Amino acid sequence: MTNNILYLVPLLGVVGLIVMAIKSAWVSKQDAGDENMQRLAGYIAKGAMAFLKAEWKVLSYFVIIAGILLAWSGTFTGSAEHPIHSSWVISISFVIGAVLSAFAGYIGMNIATKANVRTTQAARTSLSKALKVSFNGGTVMGLGVAGLAVIGLGSLFIVFLQMFHVTSVNSDEMKTAIEVLAGFSLGAESIALFARVGGGIYTKAADVGADLVGKVEAGIPEDDVRNPATIADNVGDNVGDVAGMGADLFGSYVATILATMVLGQEINANDAYNGLSPILLPMVIAGLGLIFSIVGTWFVKVKNETDSVQNALNLGNWSSIALTGIASYFVVNALLPEKMSWFDAARGEEFTRNGVFAAIVVGLAVGTLMSIITEYYTAMGKRPVMSIIRQSGTGHATNIIGGLSVGMESTVLPILVLAGGIMGSYYFAGLYGVSIAAAGMMATTAMQLAIDAFGPIADNAGGIAEMSQLPEEVRGRTDNLDAVGNTTAATGKGFAIASAALTSLALFAAFVGISGITAIDIYKAPVLAGLFVGGMIPFIFSSLAIAAVGRAAMDMVNEVRRQFREIPGIMEYKAQPEYEKCVAISTKASIREMLAPGAIALISPVIVGFLFGPEVLGGMLAGVTVSGVLMGIFQSNAGGAWDNAKKSFEKGVMINGEMFYKKSEPHKASVTGDTVGDPFKDTSGPSMNILIKLMSIVSLVIAPFIAGKSFGERPNHGQGVACVEMQHCEKEMMGKCDMSKCATMTKEQCAAMCDSMGCDSTEKAACMSMYDADGKFIGKGHEGCSNEPVCKEDNDKTCSKGDACCKNKKVEAPEKKACCKDNK
Amino acid sequence: MTNNILYLVPLLGVVGLIVMAIKSAWVSKQDAGDENMQRLAGYIAKGAMAFLKAEWKVLSYFVIIAGILLAWSGTFTGSAEHPIHSSWVISISFVIGAVLSAFAGYIGMNIATKANVRTTQAARTSLSKALKVSFNGGTVMGLGVAGLAVIGLGSLFIVFLQMFHVTSVNSDEMKTAIEVLAGFSLGAESIALFARVGGGIYTKAADVGADLVGKVEAGIPEDDVRNPATIADNVGDNVGDVAGMGADLFGSYVATILATMVLGQEINANDAYNGLSPILLPMVIAGLGLIFSIVGTWFVKVKNETDSVQNALNLGNWSSIALTGIASYFVVNALLPEKMSWFDAARGEEFTRNGVFAAIVVGLAVGTLMSIITEYYTAMGKRPVMSIIRQSGTGHATNIIGGLSVGMESTVLPILVLAGGIMGSYYFAGLYGVSIAAAGMMATTAMQLAIDAFGPIADNAGGIAEMSQLPEEVRGRTDNLDAVGNTTAATGKGFAIASAALTSLALFAAFVGISGITAIDIYKAPVLAGLFVGGMIPFIFSSLAIAAVGRAAMDMVNEVRRQFREIPGIMEYKAQPEYEKCVAISTKASIREMLAPGAIALISPVIVGFLFGPEVLGGMLAGVTVSGVLMGIFQSNAGGAWDNAKKSFEKGVMINGEMFYKKSEPHKASVTGDTVGDPFKDTSGPSMNILIKLMSIVSLVIAPFIAGKSFGERPNHGQGVACVEMQHCEKEMMGKCDMSKCATMTKEQCAAMCDSMGCDSTEKAACMSMYDADGKFIGKGHEGCSNEPVCKEDNDKTCSKGDACCKNKKVEAPEKKACCKDNK
């Protein structure tokens, strides 16, 4: 079962990669500056590569072990009641996902370490040129990530359709194909987590360490060539903000599309593509988003030194979003039939293709609003940042209180937008709507990433300019780009967390379907306990991440202090610091410290799922999602606001009528806030969205294996409403029909009683249904309204797992069998 | 329907109040020291009273308005399907709760402002005497709070039983009595929230303000008489840590008992007390806990100057807990029948009185473990505090990172204990078990509060000693008491948050019952949206609270700076600072700033409940509970750890082999952490447990009014399993019986088919049930497995609210009526 349109998806990805190659060649061709600049850039590139190699080495063990476990898991077939649709091929899929994710990070880092020095050189000429080089560098990464994702997902899907001989959408073979494809996403997202956390620890350990000794103790400027940690700091921008983010967004992008595909597979669509259209739609939209991202890059340019770089980026971003939105209208109309329904009616009602389009619009609106809100909370000159500046006037402590308070406050509007987005997209197209809204948001990932990656390139370019002691105007131009980069980084995070929340809900829905539960009822005590435990995980994850930065930064501080002490002549530019020692400290620390948080994310769903079953795991996922989104927004925005509060002092700020500048007491307080904010905004904050998605994907992958497990169900409650009703019916009225009397009557007598009491036909039918085919009252033996459930009707099949029905010894074997048919 | 045992409860309360009066008279009789000490103590008492009056004035408006609304709400009777059992008397109940809560705070503050100076005077003699005075002060408050609660609840319950002519436990009249009693808890908890938040803002604004200018800028010691904010600081200890905490624990205590009573009312207990025993049990245990708290106080004494005060307090605490645990075994056996069940079987299975006792033990164990864990995370010399000390070595920022990291990490064990406690107590006695576990934990509130309140009294005593320039040894003794007080304050908070979580779950369960829903399914998008919004509320609440402290502290700093500038001679002890101006700033700021967070807690459940119905509100409550517990633990422990990290510098600490003392750079960094931690641990952190309980109580009170409302249900899903099954049965197999063929068969043909296929009797009965009494196939007209639900059986009654069943136009009127009988 294939269709020509299937080949369109990887084709669009190939177009993206071709454009990427052209842009990449253009960047490489640019002038890389004088020998000194090239030497410094060489250190950075070498350090970055060293980190990637060390990281890959550790991760390759993980990939091999996890791959073997997955291959083994693929050999299970499950029971007749809970068949497992998987295959050992899932391990291949997993490895490909992991490798592509790592490769996406590599592409970005490779181009970034070339673009940085070329941007510095370009900045010697004009702002316009510098923007062009740095933004093209970012674009290469964006296109690389999106291109690889689209090609990977699209072509694997084609391969799996054929490999598993899929004949229809709602077939077991399709379930296998999708489960195996989930392995791709698992691979991508696992690597993303380690890359983001490891890179985040690296960059902030170096940054905090370099600042604490260099700026605060030695009094030398940021990026000063005399600071032994300065190369590590610049390497950090590449491994954290570029490679880490590349792997992160690759994982998010894949997870979002996959979640929509999983739900799409459950949709009954009478279309021209063998019912494949709901599965295809997210991939096609992603492909188009990639193309429109390329179009959007054409708008990113400035002419004069005074033109606004932010406006240029916004123009590019909004135009690619708008074009994708418009295009998706036509795509939705071309692909989808007018109406669709779910194969399993419990999933929801019929919905229309117009509803799907509306949901995409909701997704784009949510993303846009999240960006705007995030910008408000982190931008200079706005109320939140101004309040932190004012509170810096009374010292370090009030600055911290101010930032924490702003961060917490900044969760309100995003959560309301998100809640509205969930309700809205759900209203328009049910669970598929929620999922496609996320896919719509993520469609322009290439553009989003180009804008994001341009920031660290500009930051690095500034660093090289400073280290090479280039003229003031060069640093001025790179600072201009860097400042814009800070804002785009913040808005990018708002965007990412919103998409993660929507994606998680979609994954959540997919998980529920595959694990065979119909609800996640937090009124059940074990599920509520799961919710608590899930809510706690982002806290311990954040704790580990920021503590790791604190520890690694202390090591860095001690090493820098040692070099200043033991290597004479550094401060007089007579001796060169041992940069590589600092690089090694960051590398080692980040690799070591990324393991514990990563393990929590990967292992906790497995433990909870296998011990307590899918419903408790569902509760845990909900807890992780809610708490993770809140902690992500809180930490990212607090960090961004502190950063810009500190930056505001460079131009001078007025507190209680007095002007304060750099080196003043309030400025020192603001530096404290910025330092606290560093791990918040670049290590733990942005990891939250990977954490929640990764845990959802792990749960999705193990879902078939835990289907049917249950733990500590509230007896009777989980039993389906029918049983409860039946218990009452022997002593209570059914309509006007007194059922308590029927137990001692024949069917005929009961019918007569019903008639005499004026029961209507439904009520009478209900009474009659108490008798079996032979006219025997099948409830007899249960006098009065006992608490023992009665298993005598087919609808008692609906009693859910492990309930009292099955334990009731008074129920005879065949009845028990029927009653407990779906029980395990 | 009354019983003599009912009168036991208020009687035990009266015993508590009599002992309180004796102890209070004893404290008043002690020597209040010289004239100067009395003058200073007079300032403090006057300032505290001024705050209480200002607070009461504002709150009286609130009580009047809310009381009128409640009286009006009591006039509604609801519909036949969703009757509302309430009465205008709820407003009286509410007012009594509010007044008693305020009065409980007043008792504590009144005795604390007497005991403080008397403790100072006693400390001139011996540690033993000082402990006796301060602990007796705390005991007065503990007994007052618990005594008022037990008398209030116990006697109101007797009054309402007679007023509403309650004849049986499971009657509408009893529902009214309990709903009206919920008003008492609502009143108590509302006042508690305002008192805690207002008091918390007051005390920390004064504390932070006094420290920032006094200690940091002017270099004078804490509690120096020259500091204009010092009186406000000492007043703050009384209004925040005493009056605020008194109202807080009064509210918690009442809420916990009430929640258990609400659930107790749903239990079918065949006992010697007309079935009242499950309702009585929490009140009786509370009464006994009060008596054993009195017994426990006898153990709190030291003989020598070197005896451990902490051990003395622990002995008193553990002995009262152990005695209560043992006594509850006998009480449970005396009151409860051997087995109990729920009137509504959907609530859970039968459980035993041994299970109830086991649940109480689980509650006591959870409380004890929480205290131990909290102590570990906040005590001097343990790993967490040591790590913060070490990170102070590299500056303010790393100190903050360290504290935040410790606070986040400290959520792990408490959450696991809590999750285990929920599962365990639920395992032993279902929802009643969870609730009675919380009641067991809270039984020794009097003792807990005595230990808690002794801390601020000792703190004040030290302040008076410092201000009166008494000999070093006096301050030494009060410092000893104060240090112990810091630890007990931290463990008290751990205890409080655990009990709040369990109580909330019990209130949650009570809410579900009254609002007429059977599940809170977070798989439904609107419910998940509710969960997100609920999770966000503790963040905005905390943000408002700590920002308020920051703002008020800034006002305080500016006022103190002004006085130092404009009043010559302060520093030379020649002029007296204008203490009352600082008192006024704190008073005004706290009253103003407590309103917004209070309003959020009170109004948000009302808005969500009425707009979106009980299930979405349930999702929101779950979000608030999880996020509130996490934020409460995080903030309280981070604050406690920062505080003790700072205190560790007083005796000197070793960082990297070097000793550091007060006034060193690392010490300054630790002061920053302590200042950030102040609003965390004394304003927003401890408010979290009131927030989650208050929102649950508000929801409980409005539950009857929103019963039956629903919003954006996922169609078909909410429809009950029976309907879904029926849809399939026309095309799918029912056992071996192919139902899709039956649609075109007569009943006889179908029966023959069943026989020929070897269906067993159950399967055949199921097939037969597809025909009505006249042998007509009642599903006909629905060809194949349509998505249209089939309404033809009485068990279709189980379709829940608003589902497609009722909208299906193909269903004839009488059938529709039956199908939708329980729908609204």
Residue-wise pLDDT tens digits, A634-666: 999 999 999 989 988 888 888 888 889 888 889
Cross-chain residue pair A557–B764, CB shorter than 8 Å: no
Three-class SS state of A468: coil
Contacting residues for A343 by C-beta, under 8 A, at least 6 apart: A170, A266, A267, A268
What token pair was written down for B55?
A: 């607070």
Long-range contacts of A426-429 (CB under 8 A, 24+ apart): A426/B525, A426/B526, A426/B712, A426/B714, A427/B712, A428/A351, A428/A355, A428/A356, A428/A358, A428/A359, A428/A362, A429/A351, A429/A352, A429/A355, A429/A356, A429/A358, A429/A359
- Look at residue B779 and tell me whether its pLDDT is greater than 80: no
Q: What are phi and psi of A575, to 5 degrees?
A: -120, 150
Q: Which residue has the higher pLDDT, B216 or A281?
A: A281
pLDDT (tens digit, 9 = 90+) per residue, A658-696? Answer: 889 888 889 989 989 999 999 998 889 888 988 998 999
> With bands split at pLDDT 50, 70 and 90, how would you rate the model's confidence at B627?
very high
**Integer Cα distance of A554 and A566 in angstroms:** 18
Smallest Cβ distance to B676: which of A397, A549, A800? Answer: A397
- Give the mean pLDDT of B417-425: 92
With an 8 Å Cβ cutoff, is B720 touching chain A?
yes
Q: Among residues of chain B, what percentage have pLDDT more than 70?
A: 86
pLDDT (tens digit, 9 = 90+) per residue, B537-573? Answer: 999 999 999 999 888 888 888 888 888 888 888 888 8
**Integer Cα distance of A584 and A206 in angstroms:** 11
Q: Which of residues 463-492 of A touch B (CB under 8 A)?
A: none
What distance in Å separates residue A719's CA from the closest CA in chain B?
Answer: 9
**pLDDT confidence of residue A807:** 40
DSSP at B306: T
Chain A contact set for B542 (CB, 8 A): 405, 408
Report the residue of chain B nearest A531, measured CA to CA: B626
What token pair was written down for A506?
A: 């979609």
Long-range contacts of B162-166 (CB under 8 A, 24+ apart): B162/B2, B163/B89, B164/B87, B166/B1
Smallest Cβ distance to A348: which of B407, B715, B773? Answer: B715
pLDDT (tens digit, 9 = 90+) per residue, B43-57? Answer: 888 888 888 888 888
**Integer Cα distance of B5 and A518 in angstroms:** 46
Cross-chain residue pair A814–B762, CB shorter than 8 Å: yes
DSSP strands (E only) in A454-564: none
What distance in Å separates residue A716's CA from the closest CA in chain B?
Answer: 6
**Integer Cα distance of A289 and A327 in angstroms:** 9
Smallest Cβ distance to B550: which of A401, A509, A734? Answer: A401
With an 8 Å Cβ cutoff, is B374 touching chain A?
no
Cross-chain residue pair B394–A553, CB shorter than 8 Å: yes
- Look at residue A10 and tell me whether its pLDDT is greater than 80: yes
Three-class SS state of A381: coil
Cross-chain residue pair A420–B533, CB shorter than 8 Å: no
CA torsion, ordered B2, B4, B10, B16, to nearest 10 deg: -170
pLDDT (tens digit, 9 = 90+) per residue, B687-722? Answer: 898 899 899 999 988 888 887 776 544 333 333 333
Q: What are phi and psi of B78, to 5 degrees?
A: 80, -170
The answer to whether B537 and B600 have CB atoms below 8 angstroms apart is yes
**Integer Cα distance of B585 and B601 in angstroms:** 25
**pLDDT confidence of residue A140:** 94
Q: Which residues pair with A653 in a beta bridge?
A: A660
**Integer Cα distance of A727 and A743 in angstroms:** 13
- Give the mean pLDDT of B115-129: 92
DSSP at B83: B
**Integer Cα distance of B208 and B200 in angstroms:** 12
- Look at residue A565 and tell me whether its pLDDT is greater than 70: yes
The answer to whether A467 and A224 have CB atoms below 8 angstroms apart is yes
**Integer Cα distance of A27 and A780 in angstroms:** 85
**Integer Cα distance of B779 and B734 in angstroms:** 15
**pLDDT confidence of residue B713:** 44
Secondary structure, 3-state, B336-389:
CCCEEEECCHHHCCCEEHHHHHHHHHHHHHHHHHHHHHHHHHHCCCCHHHHHHH
Chain mean pLDDT for chain B = 82
With an 8 Å Cβ cutoff, is A629 touching chain B?
yes
What distance in Å separates residue B800's CA from the closest CA in chain A?
Answer: 10
With an 8 Å Cβ cutoff, is A91 touching chain B?
no
> Maximum Cα–Cα distance for chain A, whole Å?
111
What token pair was written down for A423?
A: 């309700």
pLDDT (tens digit, 9 = 90+) per residue, B752-773? Answer: 666 665 555 655 665 666 666 6
> With bands split at pLDDT 50, 70 and 90, how would you rate the model's confidence at A804?
very low
Chain A contact set for B522 (CB, 8 A): 520-522, 618-619, 622
Report the residue of chain A nearest B725, measured CA to CA: A795
What distance in Å separates residue A473's CA from the closest CA in chain B?
Answer: 32
Which of B36, B240, B153, B14 lies closest to B442, judged by CA? B153
Q: Which of residues 2-41 of A touch B (CB under 8 A)?
A: none
How distant is the alpha carbon of residue B25 from its chain centre?
32
**Integer Cα distance of A141 and A71 in angstroms:** 32
Chain B contact set for A671 (CB, 8 A): 397
Three-class SS state of B553: helix
**Integer Cα distance of B737 and A108 in angstroms:** 61
Angle at A538 between CA A537 and CA A540, to 5 degrees: 65
**pLDDT confidence of residue B820:** 42
Q: Among residues of chain A, what percentage have pLDDT more than 70?
A: 86
The answer to whether A147 and A290 have CB atoms below 8 angstroms apart is yes
> With bands split at pLDDT 50, 70 and 90, how would you rate the model's confidence at A281?
very high
Smallest Cβ distance to A763: which of B345, B795, B818? Answer: B818
The answer to whether A227 and A576 have CB atoms below 8 angstroms apart is no
**Integer Cα distance of B214 and B622 in angstroms:** 44
Chain B contact set for A426 (CB, 8 A): 525-526, 712, 714
**pLDDT confidence of residue B639:** 93
Smallest Cβ distance to A519: which of B519, B526, B763? Answer: B519
**pLDDT confidence of residue A467:** 86
- Give the mean pLDDT of B652-668: 86
**Integer Cα distance of B119 and B126 in angstroms:** 10
Q: Which residue has the higher pLDDT, A147 or A723?
A: A147
**Integer Cα distance of A68 and A88 in angstroms:** 9
- Look at residue B293 and tell me whether its pLDDT is greater than 50: yes
**pLDDT confidence of residue A479:** 85
**pLDDT confidence of residue B555:** 86
**B440: Cα within 13 Å, side-chain hemisphere:** 32
> With bands split at pLDDT 50, 70 and 90, how would you rate the model's confidence at A341?
confident
What distance in Å separates residue B193's CA from the closest CA in chain A?
Answer: 20
Task: State the count of interchain CB pairs (< 8 A) between A and B.
Answer: 424
- Look at residue A307 and tell me whether its pLDDT is greater than 70: yes
**pLDDT confidence of residue A172:** 83
Q: Count Cβ atoms below 10 Å from residue A270 Cβ, excluding itself.
A: 12
How distant is the alpha carbon of residue B574 from its chain centre?
48
Q: Identify from B425, B795, B801 which residue to disrupt to test chain A contact, counting A C-beta atoms within 10 A and taking the largest count.
A: B795
- Look at residue B4 and tell me whether its pLDDT is greater than 90: no
Burial class of residue B219 (count of CB atoms within 10 Å of its CB; 0-12, 13-18, 19+): exposed
Chain mean pLDDT for chain A = 82
- Look at residue A249 and tell me whether its pLDDT is greater than 80: yes
Min mean pLDDT across A100-114, A712-726, B154-168, B421-435 is at A712-726
Burial class of residue B569 (count of CB atoms within 10 Å of its CB; 0-12, 13-18, 19+): exposed
Q: Which residues pair with A737 in a beta bridge?
A: A734
**Integer Cα distance of A240 and A459 in angstroms:** 13
Smallest Cβ distance to A398: which of B348, B553, B800? Answer: B553
**pLDDT confidence of residue B482:** 85
- Give the mean pLDDT of B673-687: 90
pLDDT (tens digit, 9 = 90+) per residue, A591-649? Answer: 888 889 889 999 999 999 999 989 999 999 999 999 999 999 999 999 999 998 998 88
With an 8 Å Cβ cutoff, is A523 touching chain B?
yes
Q: Kindly give the interhelix angle for B525-566 and B665-679, rounded to the nearest 10 degrees.
A: 120
Contacting residues for A255 by C-beta, under 8 A, at least 6 apart: A185, A188, A189, A503, A507, A693, A696, A697
Chain A contact set for B768 (CB, 8 A): 772-773
